[in-house]
Amino acid sequence: METYLPIKNKMHVLITGSKGFIGKNLLQKLIENSSYQVSCFNREDGFEFLEKLVKTADIIIHLAGENRPDNKADLVVGNSDLTKKICTFIQKSSRKPLVVFTSSIQAEFDNPYAISKRDSEKALENLSIATDTPVLIYRLPGVFGKWCKPYYNSVVATFCHNIANDLSIEIHDPFKKIKLVYIDDVVNSIVDSMDSVKDGFHWRNVQPEYLISLGDLSAQIKAFKNFRTNLIAEKVGTGITRALYSTYVSYLPFTEFIYDLNKHSDERGIFVELLKTPDCGQFSFFTANPGITRGGHYHHSKTEKFFVIKGKAKFGFRNILTGENHEFVVTGDKPQVVETIPGWAHDIKNIGKDNLIVLLWANEIFDLNQPDTISCEV
**pLDDT confidence bin for 153, thresholds 50/70/90:** confident
Whether 4 shows a pLDDT value over 90: the answer reads no
Distance (Å) of CA 193 to CA 156, 197, 358: 26, 5, 48
Average model confidence (pLDDT) across the chain: 95
Q: Which residues are catalytic?
A: 113
**pLDDT confidence bin for 66, thresholds 50/70/90:** confident
Decide which of 80, 114, 140 is a domain's last residue.
140
Least confident piece of the model among 36-40, 149-153, 159-163: 149-153
- For residues 50-63, average pLDDT: 97
- The reply to whether 25 falls in a domain is yes
- The reply to whether 190 falls in a domain is no
* Confidence (pLDDT) at 5: 64
Residue 10 is given by DSSP the state: S
- How far the first Cα of the chain sits from its last, in Å, is 75
Rounded CA-CA distance 253/285 in Å is 28
- The reply to whether 5 falls in a domain is no
* Confidence (pLDDT) at 104: 96
pLDDT tens for each residue of 70-128: 788 878 888 999 999 999 999 999 899 999 999 999 999 999 899 999 999 999 999 99
Rounded CA-CA distance 378/298 in Å is 9
Structural domain tally of the chain?
Answer: 3
**Same domain membership, residue 126 and residue 152:** no
pLDDT tens for each residue of 242-291: 999 999 999 999 999 999 999 999 999 999 999 999 999 999 999 999 99
- CB–CB of 184/243 below 8 Å? yes
* Confidence (pLDDT) at 77: 82
Helical (H) or strand (E) element with 203: strand 201-204
**Same domain membership, residue 113 and residue 231:** no
**Helix, strand, or coil here: 288?**
strand
**pLDDT confidence bin for 68, thresholds 50/70/90:** confident
Whether 156 shows a pLDDT value over 90: the answer reads yes
Range of the domain at 120: 11-140
**Same domain membership, residue 98 and residue 26:** yes
Pairing of strands 304-310, 356-362: antiparallel
- CB–CB of 292/364 below 8 Å? no
- The reply to whether 196 falls in a domain is no
**Same domain membership, residue 150 and residue 70:** no
- For residues 26-51, average pLDDT: 95
pLDDT tens for each residue of 321-362: 999 999 999 999 999 999 999 999 999 999 999 999 999 999
Beta-carbon contacts of 177 under 8 Å, excluding residues fewer than 6 positions away, are 211, 212, 213, 214
Q: What angle do CA 87, 93, 97 make, to 5 degrees?
A: 65
Decide which of 239, 259, 279 is a domain's last residue.
259
Least confident piece of the model among 52-56, 77-81, 179-183: 77-81
Q: Backbone dihedral region of 304: left (phi > 0), alpha (psi from -120 to 50 degrees) or beta? A: beta
- The reply to whether 79 falls in a domain is yes
**Helix, strand, or coil here: 345?**
strand
Q: Is the dihedral of CA 257, 258, 262, 264 positive or negative?
A: positive
* Confidence (pLDDT) at 219: 98
Q: Where are the alpha helices (DSSP H) in 132-213?
A: 155-164, 183-196
- The reply to whether 194 falls in a domain is no
- CB–CB of 139/203 below 8 Å? yes
Pairing of strands 59-62, 11-16: parallel
**Same domain membership, residue 133 and residue 27:** yes
Amino acid at 369: N
**Helix, strand, or coil here: 83?**
helix
* Residues constituting the chain: 378
**Same domain membership, residue 21 and residue 119:** yes
**Same domain membership, residue 345 and residue 299:** yes
- The reply to whether 160 falls in a domain is yes
Rounded CA-CA distance 220/246 in Å is 12
> 257 has which bridge partners?
none
Rounded CA-CA distance 222/168 in Å is 11
**pLDDT confidence bin for 7, thresholds 50/70/90:** confident
**Same domain membership, residue 152 and residue 59:** no
Decide which of 226, 259, 292 is a domain's last residue.
259
**Same domain membership, residue 125 and residue 38:** yes
For 144, counting Cβ atoms within 10 Å of its Cβ (0-12 exposed, 13-18 middle, 19+ buried), the class is buried
- For residues 299-324, average pLDDT: 98
- For residues 205-227, average pLDDT: 98
Whether 6 shows a pLDDT value over 70: the answer reads no
**Same domain membership, residue 287 and residue 246:** no
**Same domain membership, residue 49 and residue 86:** yes
Rounded CA-CA distance 48/41 in Å is 11
Q: Give me the CATH number covering residue 239.
A: 3.40.50.720
- The reply to whether 71 falls in a domain is yes
* Confidence (pLDDT) at 2: 52
Among residues 149, 155, 141, the alpha carbon closest in space to that of 206 is found at: 141
**Same domain membership, residue 115 and residue 40:** yes
Rounded CA-CA distance 329/350 in Å is 10
